[in-house]
Structure 1
Amino acid sequence: MFARSTVTAVAILLASGSIAAAQSPTRIEQFKAWGAYSYKTNSGTVCYVLSVPTDKQPAAVNHGDIFFVISQRPGQNISYEPQAMMGYALKENSKVNVTIDNKNFVMFVKDTSAWVENAAEEPALVAAMKTGHSMTVKATSARGTGTAYTYSLSGISAALKKIEGCK
């Protein structure tokens, strides 16, 4: 299941242009619920960690492939950028809400992905993920369906540590 989802995530990243002129990603190591990966681009090496939800709600809806990714792109001066990737179009001008234990973060949406609305809060979100127990991501599809995803944070610290020296 996780391997198939990872291959799908790579395909989504390639299709979205996030991996322009890239080689195929290589799995560095799996850390419980989180995998660490890297690939080369014309701008240098990109490393990221990725996980899939442990629960998807509502259960009766086809969610497609859902991922939460944190990327490290030293060649582009980007460090630990969180991104929610959905298997469907998100409602235009809506927000994605991320809750880790009792901390809340807001993400803006574009097409099938979401990023932290205030980039200055990215380090706080990553820090909360490292110390938290579980994470919930709530979104609204373009059709108006409210969705919620639960992620295990088990292994996130080790996965992030593995990519911290990405060059």
Structure 2
Amino acid sequence: MFVRKLTLVFALAVSGAGIAAAQTPTRIQQFNAWGAYSYQSGKSKVCYVLSVPKEKAPANVDHGDVFFLVSQRPGQNISYEPQVMVGYPLQENSKVIVTVDQKNFTLFTKGNSAWVENAAEEPALVTAMRSGKAMSVSGKSRKGTTTTYSYSLSGISAALKQIESCK
């Protein structure tokens, strides 16, 4: 069941990244809360790490499938791009806040996904995730519901190291 959900999120991530056609991802290895995956896109390889939240709030709403991923797309010169994906449309022109320990990062929203607003801050977010103890994500649905997700950072460094040489 989880693998089917990952295939779905992969398809959504691919469409959000503007990739026209791709193959089903292969799980390279699981590192505690984070899995490392890859797939072939044309002549280049795409790799990413992905995790699901350990807690979702509020508990009384349908969150759908929720993921946090960091992708490497060498063929597009994209290195360690963080992305949040949720199972519902996010409020237009709203912001998603990712907090690693006490440091906040602002993400812009489009549809059911969010990316770092200032691309120059992507490496800082990934660095914070590698050394952090706790990560939370907070956003607002199109209906106006504020949602919060807590993630384990256990295994993130090993998973990122696994996709380091993605080519």
Residue 34 of structure 1 corresponds to 34
Residue 111 of structure 1 corresponds to 111
Q: Residue type of the partner of 1:28? A: I
> CA–CA distance in 2 between the matches of 1:112 and 1:120?
22
Could you tell me which runs of 5 or more consecutive residues in structure 1 were left unpaired when the two chains were aligned. none
Residue 63 of structure 2 corresponds to 63
TM-score by length of 2: 0.95
Question: Do residues 82 (structure 1) and 82 (structure 2) align?
Answer: yes
Q: Percent identity at matched positions?
A: 65
> CA–CA distance in 1 between the matches of 2:5 and 2:55?
14
* Maintained 8 Å contact 2:139/2:146: yes
Any idea what the Cα deviations from partners look like across 1:111-138, whole Å, max 9, x if unmatched? 1100000000000000000000111000
Q: What is the RMSD computed on CA atoms of the aligned residues?
A: 1.4
Residue 72 of structure 1 corresponds to 72
> CA–CA distance in 2 between the matches of 1:133 and 1:18?
33
TM-score by length of 1: 0.95
Q: Residue type of the partner of 1:69? A: L
3-state SS of paired residue (1:122): helix
Query: How big is the shift at 1:5?
Result: 3.5
Judged with a 3 Å threshold, the aligned counterparts in structure 2 of structure 1 residues 29 and 128 are, in CA distance, closer, same or farther, namely same
Query: How big is the shift at 1:9?
Result: 1.7
3-state SS of paired residue (1:123): helix
Judged with a 3 Å threshold, the aligned counterparts in structure 2 of structure 1 residues 88 and 43 are, in CA distance, closer, same or farther, namely farther
Query: How big is the shift at 1:10?
Result: 2.2
Residue 148 of structure 1 corresponds to 148
* Maintained 8 Å contact 1:8/1:65: no
Judged with a 3 Å threshold, the aligned counterparts in structure 2 of structure 1 residues 77 and 14 are, in CA distance, closer, same or farther, namely closer
> CA–CA distance in 2 between the matches of 1:116 and 1:17?
14
Q: Residue type of the partner of 2:160? A: L
Moved over 6 A (4+): none
> Matched residue pairs, number?
167
Any idea what the Cα deviations from partners look like across 1:94-118, whole Å, max 9, x if unmatched? 0000001011000000011000000
Q: Residue type of the partner of 1:22? A: A
3-state SS of paired residue (2:61): coil
Query: How big is the shift at 1:17?
Result: 5.8
Judged with a 3 Å threshold, the aligned counterparts in structure 2 of structure 1 residues 53 and 94 are, in CA distance, closer, same or farther, namely same
Any idea what the Cα deviations from partners look like across 1:11-50, whole Å, max 9, x if unmatched? 4335546543111110000000000000011251000000
Residue 20 of structure 2 corresponds to 20
Query: How big is the shift at 1:3?
Result: 3.5
Could you tell me which runs of 5 or more consecutive residues in structure 2 were left unpaired when the two chains were aligned. none
